[in-house]
Each structure stands twice: as structure tokens, then as C-alpha cells.
């Protein structure tokens, strides 16, 4: 069965219906759903946390022979918690990382305590700007960073990346569109999974789309 044939819904991923990774994520999903304070943030919200987790699951399918069941579990836990409790304010992302790590420490299951150093490594790698270049990271951290980077290519990018990030960074949506063009033109993925899932032509098409929107919004006629 190919990766495309095994696309799963969020509940299926949380329950691990494919028996792909170790255990399930029910406990941690409930913590996020009921306790996270950032679920309605403009960008770093519930959709962001769960979409990153969904993407990382697709990467786990792609790297099924390279990653162990425990490595996959650690990656998915890191994805679900990487922006847990995010302040919703752009800048000092190290503080947001610290909140995520502290929050996970408080709710970690006994069976996952031995994995905390690895999970924390993955979460820290997602800090933005990146503290370590993605190409120097381990595979799991590269996947998480690529999933995070890919958000501008999602179907919800206008709401999330333009209006959402504009709100969190104190910029106007128009200024954010201009910034996204520059961001897209520099975009480079570290993993074979992301390079295949988000090929160069997809990025170029998003640049064209963004430039067309900017032209419409800037047209004085």
C-alpha cells in the first residue's frame, strides 16, 4: 500500500489504526484539546498543531523502514506539542519552546519518560529562526522542520499565513503577502519526503499565485 493510499484522518492517526508507531496518542491529544491555551491563536493554533502532526505521520509512512516505532512516536508527540501554549506573539520563540517542553513534562506518561530527551531535542529544533540548520539535524527533526516550513503551501495558507501570521507579528496582511513571496523563493526542504510531497513546481506555482494576489491588491485602477 502506497503512502497516498494510506492517508488517514486525525482520529485514525491519534488511535494509530495502522499500528505504525508505538502505542497511541489519545492521552496527549486530550491534553492538547482540553488544556492548551493557544488553540484559538491567529496562526499557532489547534489547526497548526494537528496539521503538523498529520504531516509528520505521512513522513513516518514514507520513512517506515528508516524510523523505529518509538522514533515515530517521539516525532508525533513532538509535533503535537512543539507549539503547545504558544504566546501568539512573534519573536523570542525560545520562550515558546520552553513553555511547550515544561507542559509536556507535566503530563508525560511513565512509559514516555525515557524518551523525553529525544522529544525535547525535536521540539527545540522547531524553534524559529532555526537554531541549527535543518541539514545538520537528525531525520526526525528534519521532518518536523519541513512540516513546519510547508504550512505556506497548505490550502489554508491565506487565512493562516497571511492573516494569522500578520496578526501575531504585528504586520499588515498586505505586508505579509510581500514577505511570503520572498520566503517562498528561498524555500528549501531538507528531507526526501518533503521534496517529493512539495516539489519545486508547487513552490513556483505558489509564488505565481502570491504575486498575482499582490498585483490585484496593489492595482490602483
CATH number, domain containing residue 118 = 1.10.1300.10
* pLDDT given at position 6: 72
Q: What is the pLDDT of residues 156-191, one digit of tens each?
A: 999 999 999 999 999 999 999 999 999 999 999 999
Residue 219 is predicted with a pLDDT of 77
Cα separation, 115 vs 103, whole angstroms: 15
Once rounded to an integer, what is the mean pLDDT over residues 186-213?
97
Q: Could you tell me if 92 and 45 are in contact, meaning their C-beta atoms sit under 8 angstroms apart?
A: no
Residue 5 has pLDDT above 80, yes or no: no
Query: Is the pLDDT score of 2 beyond 70?
Result: no
Evaluate whether 84 touches 49 at the Cβ level (below 8 Å): yes
| Per-residue model confidence as pLDDT tens digits over 82-131 | 999 999 998 899 999 999 999 999 999 999 999 999 999 999 999 999 99
For the cut 50, the answer to whether the pLDDT of residue 1 exceeds it is no
% of residues, the chain, pLDDT over 70: 97
H helices within the chain, ranges in order? Answer: 10-15, 26-35, 46-62, 69-81, 93-107, 116-125, 139-149, 157, 165-169, 173-186, 192-197, 200-218
State mean pLDDT over 144-165. Answer: 97
- Buried-exposed string 57-95: b where 16+ CB fall within 10 A, e elsewhere: bbbbbbbeeebeeebbbbbbbbbbbbbbbbbbebeebee
- 53 lies in which domain range? 4-218
pTM (predicted TM-score): 0.95
Q: pLDDT at residue 26 above 50?
A: yes
Whether 81 shows a pLDDT value over 60: the answer reads: yes
Q: What confidence score (pLDDT) does residue 221 get?
A: 57
How many domains would you assign to the chain? 1
Q: Reply yes or no on whether the pLDDT at 38 is more than 80.
A: yes
Measure the CA–CA gap between 88 and 190, rounded to whole angstroms: 27
CA atoms within 13 A on the CB side of 139: 13
Q: How far is residue 25's CA from residue 13's CA, in Å, rounded to a whole number? A: 8
Contacts of 193 by beta carbon, 8 Å cutoff, 6+ apart:
58, 59, 62, 63, 143, 146
Amino acid at each position: 500500500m502506497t503512502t497516498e493510499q494510506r492517508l488517514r484522518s486525525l482520529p485514525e492517526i491519534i488511535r494509530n489504526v495502522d499500528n505504525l508507531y508505538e502505542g497511541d496518542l489519545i492521552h496527549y491529544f486530550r491534553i492538547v484539546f482540553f488544556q492548551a491555551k493557544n488553540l484559538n491563536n491567529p496562526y499557532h493554533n489547534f489547526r497548526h498543531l494537528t496539521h503538523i502532526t498529520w504531516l509528520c505521520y505521512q513522513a513516518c509512512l514514507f520513512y517506515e523502514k528508516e524510523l523505529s516505532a518509538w522514533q515515530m512516536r517521539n516525532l508525533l508527540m513532538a509535533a503535537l506539542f512543539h507549539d503547545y501554549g504558544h504566546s501568539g506573539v512573534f519573536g523570542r520563540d525560545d520562550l515558546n519552546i520552553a513553555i511547550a517542553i515544561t507542559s509536556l513534562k507535566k503530563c508525560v506518561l511513565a512509559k514516555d519518560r525515557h524518551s523525553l530527551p529525544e522529544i525535547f531535542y525535536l521540539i527545540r529544533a522547531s524553534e524559529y529562526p532555526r537554531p541549527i540548520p535543518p541539514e545538520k539535524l537528525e531525520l526526525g527533526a528534519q521532518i518536523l522542520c519541513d512540516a513546519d516550513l510547508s504550512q505556506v503551501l497548505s490550502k489554508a495558507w491565506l487565512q493562516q499565513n497571511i492573516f494569522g501570521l500578520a496578526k501575531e507579528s504585528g504586520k499588515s496582511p498586505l505586508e505579509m503577502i510581500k514577505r511570503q513571496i520572498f520566503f517562498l523563493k528561498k524555500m528549501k526542504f531538507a528531507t526526501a519526503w518533503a521534496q517529493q510531497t512539495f516539489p519545486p513546481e508547487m513552490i513556483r506555482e505558489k509564488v505565481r499565485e502570491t504575486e498575482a494576489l499582490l498585483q490585484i491588491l496593489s492595482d490602483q485602477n
